[in-house]
Every structure is written in C-alpha cells, then in structure tokens.
Amino acid sequence: MSYKIYEINEALREFIPKEIVDLEERATWGNPKRGVMDLPYTKELIEEHSLCAGCPESMALRYILASLPNPEDTIIVNSTGCTSLVFPHIALHTVHSLFGNQNAVASGIKRVLEWRFPDKVKDVVVLAGDGAIVDIGLDCTLQSFFRQEKITTICFDNEVYANTGGQESGMTVKGHVFKMAPKGKQWDKVPMWQIAIDSGCHYVARLTVSSPKRVESVIKKAIYVAREVGPTYVHLYTPCILEIGLNSDDGLDEMRQRDKERFSFFEYMTPQAEEVINRVKEEGLL
C-alpha cells in the first residue's frame, strides 16, 4: 500500500479536473476523529459519480468514506453491483472482486497485511450489495464469520437486483412486485443481521442512512471492533428508488419511513466488543 496512488502526476496536474484534484488536496488523512461533520469541507467522492440521481447509496458512501478512522491504510473490497459503479471515483485503495466472493478476497488481503505489516493498523472493509453478500455470496460471507476474520462487512440492502433490471432477491420483502418479478416475492425477507449474530459476528447493526451521525457511529464501532476482536457486520437500507417507483428526491423520505418499521435501529455487541467500544469512547474517538 502506498500513498502515491493518491497523488496526481505533476506533469498532468494542469489538465486534471478540479474535483479530481480535490480528492487529493482536500482529503482528511491522518485524523482518526474525522467524521460526517467534515463533509462540507472535505472531498471523498466526486459529484459526477456513476450512481443514479438521488440514489441513497451515494449518501451512504459519502458517510462511510468520511467515517473511516484510518482511510489512508484501509482497503475496501467491493463486488459486482450498483456499489461497484462508484469506486473509480474515490481516492482510496479498492479491490474489485468477482460477484459473491468479496469476503474470501478480503480475508486473504487481511491476512497478508497482518503478515507484511505486523506493527501497523491496516483495516479491511467489505462494501457490497445484498445480492453479493446475501444471495450469490452467502457462503463466502458466512465462512469469513465462522473463521473469525478481522474484517468489517457492510451490506447495502436495496432489496432488489437493481442494476440488472429489477429481479427479486432474498432480501426482497414478501409480496413485493417488481417489473421482472411480476408474481411478487413468495417468502419472507432473509434476516441477515440475525444470521450474522448467529454466525459469530461481534458487532452487528441494522439501520437506514437517514441519520448521518448514526451511520458514522456504527461504522467506527464496527471497524474498531473488527481490528481487535473479530468479524463485524453492518446492514444498511439503501432503497433503489427507481425500482420501487419513487422520484429521485424521495430517497430520504423512504428511509425515514422505514426507520419506524422494518429498519428501526438495531445494534448488537458481544462483551468483548463492548469493552473495545467503551475504551475507544474514553479515548475520544467515538
């Protein structure tokens, strides 16, 4: 891992768009207390990213990127899906995996980093959609939990295969109809947050991204616990507003509504995780 990947070639700097230059010049590296309140003054993601207008995933990505306590020494492993569209537009180390094996790739990266840099903190974060984490990649996801890999897994749950036309997924709500699922979902939504608990995760949270400060708190807790104890899992509701028939400015209202029902805030931690979180709070990092 090298800081040079963030640096623009000086011979080309005058030709690079300003918002790309800002990713380097307005980054907040070396500040573990960074957070969403810094977003008005810092640069984490370019405005002309590839996600749809109003997509809640873009909000979630900005909050997560702003909340990483150690971005300069963090590797994000992503997978096929809507989330993969945005990673060319950030200035962090990212690895794109095949669809579904992102937790296996992340496990290998984490082990190599621990061997190569035994005296330095290197965080590995999986960030992918519900199709990659719960449907296609459930085996790799659970096996990383079973092995107690020290990685954080973040699932963007839009409850549909959004970038391939609107097929139902295991995360789709029972009875929901999509244009490529006209009969409606025939069984209940998979409770992945409970599966994560049963599979050995030490910190688990379920929430929407309607509250930036809550997202920041959850992401930091998950990463700090993963560093010291074992696997952590964060389940974020990021609805595909187009597939559920809403306008591009309706995403926030949709998430606020689900805050009161299916995605009311839920948090779980083991005693080991609670000990880490309390210590980090005392250090002023949460």
Q: Is the overall model pTM greater than 0.85, yes or no?
A: yes
* Residue 76 DSSP label: E
Give per-residue pLDDT as tens, 135-172: 999 999 999 999 999 999 999 999 888 877 778 888 88
Instruction: Please state the three-class secondary structure of 111-146 as a single string.
Output: HHHHHHCCCCCCEEEEEEEHHHHHHHCHHHHHHHHH
Q: Kindly report, residue by residue over 90-144, the tens digit of the pLDDT.
A: 888 899 998 889 999 999 999 999 999 999 999 999 999 999 999 999 999 999 9
Tens digits of residue pLDDT in 75-91: 999 998 887 888 888 88
pLDDT average, residue stretch 187-194: 93
Q: What is the pLDDT of residue 191?
A: 95
| Residues 6 or more apart whose Cβ sits within 8 Å of residue 271 | none
**C-alpha torsion sign, points 210, 213, 218, 224:** positive
H/E segment holding residue 279 = helix 271-282
CA nearest to 261, candidates 173, 169, 166:
173
Q: Amino acid letter at 231?
A: P
All structural domains of the chain with their residue ranges: 3-282
- % residues pLDDT > 90 (the chain): 58
- Tell me the CATH class for 3-282: alpha beta
